Amino acid sequence: MKNIVILISGGGSNMAAIVRTAQREHWERAPGVRIAAVISNRADAGGLAFAREQGIATHVVDHKAYTDRAAFDAALAERIDAQDPQGHPALVVLAGFMRVLTPDFVRHYAGRLVNIHPSLLPAFAGLHTHARALAAGCRFAGATVHLVTEELDDGPILAQAVVPVLPGDTPEQLAARVLTQEHRIYSRAIADLLRR
């Protein structure tokens, strides 16, 4: 059995899209995959309720309860590893998890830590991607699924999707258009990665 642990900080729309795809495509039967847990750094994250409704274990590791990033990441890794009897899930999926992870955490899950970013990386790494794309006059924007490395929003690209930037777009309108593509490509990229 291959386990997936999904990390969220908010509403969890990408997590929900992954869970629905896994259910629709019966991931648990064909490749022997299960979504073992959804973990948030915030107890009020809306996505936790959705995960519980789907029968998925949920946990909170509150980053505010730790003195520094290293202590939080160590506690988070302990909670993730506890989801599998062998100590390591097949994949750790960042789905709107709004914490910068330490190099030790990233190395611990090297090759098994996946993120989605709302831009066509390497363009516009970091925050405020849609506003920055509009300010730069981009005609296209999009989303990128990538393996996580120690560099922020870097790492081997697994999938990308492109959307047009329309005249008069606001950052919120562009974000909504990109999000529909995030929901489409993230599950597919995870399924492809699990087949490797």
CATH number at residue 95: 3.40.50.170
Q: Which of 130, 71, 78 is nearest to 99 (CA)?
A: 71
**Is 80 found in the same domain as 12?**
yes
Domains of the chain: total: 2
- Choose the catalytic residue: 63, 117, 130, 183: 117
88 catalytic per annotation: no
Model pTM score: 0.94
**Is 36 found in the same domain as 70?**
yes
Residue that terminates a domain, selected from 62, 87, 109: 109
Pairing status of strand 91-94 against strand 2-8: parallel
Range of the domain at 159: 116-196
Handedness of CA 120, 124, 125, 128 (dihedral sign): negative
Element holding 189 (H helix, E strand)? helix 171-195
pLDDT for 64-114, tens place per residue? 999 999 999 999 999 999 998 776 677 999 999 999 999 999 999 999 999
**Is 128 found in the same domain as 100?**
no
pLDDT number for residue 100: 93
Counting Cβ atoms within 10 Å, is residue 55 exposed (0-12), middle (13-18) or buried (19+)?
Answer: exposed
